[in-house]
Every structure is written in structure tokens, then in C-alpha cells.
Amino acid sequence: MTKALQPRSPQMSLEEWKARIDLAACYRLIALKGMDDMHATHISARVPGEGHHFLINPYGLLFSQVTASNLVKIDIDGKIVDETNYTINPAGFVIHSAVHAARPDANCVIHTHTVAGIAIACLEEGLLPLSQKSMRFYQRIAYHDYEGKADDLDERSRLVRDLGSHNAMILRNHGLLACGQSAGRAYKTMYNLEKSCQIQLAIMSSGGTPIQLSEKVMQHAAKQFDRDDIPGGKRPDGWPSLLAYLDQVDPGYKD
């Protein structure tokens, strides 16, 4: 299991440094799973104890190059509030700022442009309850209609209206979004959403006839996943194991 290193700056709290390590790990995991899109899309995290201060990737770096120390601290308007040699893409924070501002529980927000995610986002029917993976999203996923590149501040109100209390959303014709109380929970949601999209595309391309599950079974399965995902519940989110895996294959995220 990974150990949080000491902050590089004496002015930085241990809580912020841990948040930086977790967020950098999330960037590296997304890259390792092939869910990144060069330097497009973002993952953001709230700085513990600092209200509306957030961490985001330096503009122009690949996800595999993000580290705990090069993450940039910004405010809710995307303005840099801490000394750094990097810039950010303010337009890329529009989606994230909307979710963070409206959802105090959303401490981490992940947005991706994967092939499978975009493909499902382009289908009128969206994500279908076909596999066990997708059951956790049955009647528990939001949809937001495409309005062009997400750089219009006016879109934020409609985006948070559509997201509501859900932790997963399909951005129509665009991509996927997941949020959570921690980087680990947000990553787990995005991982399962991405896998659900991949499975659906595999089923659709097989030429076979999908099994239609009953409403009773789908509701039952969704509630089972609800119980698994309760913070502090009996089922661990697997984050410590993922950090231990990163320590073996890509330990630079802690730099």
C-alpha cells in the first residue's frame, strides 16, 4: 500500500498533498486504461479545507505526465491561485466548475472522450441495461444534450440541472462524466461506466439477440449496487490496491 510522502512545500497541508497524490494517481490510471485523449479532457479535485479551491492538470501535459507536484491549484472561475510554472485550459474547467459548485459532495470529477463512451453518447437509446456492469446505472445515470464545445459559461446551469444527484452522466455526442466523494470512488464509477459502454457495443456488434431482463430483476440489481457503493460500507472501493499497483508500474505520480 502506498504511503503519502511529505508535501514539497512547507506551506502545503498534508491533506492537500494526499489529495494531490490521489488525483495524480487517477490521471495515471486513466492513461494506463487507455481512457485518456492526449491533453484533452480533465480530472479535477477539491482541495480539502479550502472551500472553492481545486486541483487540475497543467495544460499541454499528457495524463501520463501528471504528478502530485505539477497539478495546478485554481479557484471556481479557473483562475490560478498558487505559484506554478504551468498554465491551464480555462475552457476545460467549465464542466468541472459547474459540478463542483452545485455538488459539495463531488470532490472529484472525471471527464473522458473514449471511443466506446462517445459511441454510446451518440446513440439515441444511450446506455442500455444489458449486462451486470450496466445494472449499477439503471435509472441512475443522467444525460445532457450536446450544445457544442463546452466552453460557454451559460451551459453550466443546464448541465447541473441534468446531472441532478447522479454520479454518472452521458454527455450526448460528446463523452462521459463521473463524480464522487473521492478520487477512488469517481474512478470506480468511470471505470464501470466505460466497461458498460464497451460491453454494450460488443453485444450490438455480435448480431445476436440480447436477453431482455425483467423490470423487477433490474431494480433489484441496481439496489444491490447502491448498497455496495455506500461510503464507509462493507465493500472497499479498491483504491489502496490501485495505488499499490501504480507503485509497481508507474510510481512517478507521487513526484
For the segment 202-240, what is each residue's pLDDT rounded down to a tens digit?
Answer: 999 999 999 999 999 999 999 999 988 776 655 667 999
Residue entry with cell 486504461 = 33
Separation of alpha carbons 84 and 73, rounded Å: 9
Which stretches of the chain score pLDDT less than 50? Answer: 1-3
CATH level 2 (architecture), domain 14-242: 3-Layer(aba) Sandwich (3.40)
Q: pLDDT value at position 188?
A: 96
d(CA 87, CA 96): 17
- pLDDT given at position 92: 83
Instruction: For residue 54, give the H/E element and its range.
Output: strand 53-56
| pLDDT at position 231 | 65
Q: Report the pLDDT value the prediction gives residue 90, as an integer from 0 to 100.
A: 83
pTM, entire model: 0.94
Rounded-to-integer distance, Cα 64 and Cα 73, Å: 19
- Separation CA 164–CA 189 (nearest Å): 16
C-alpha cell at 16: 492537500
User: What is the DSSP secondary structure assignment for residue 4, as one 8-state letter?
Assistant: P
Q: How far, in Å, CA of 2 to CA of 24, rounded? A: 13
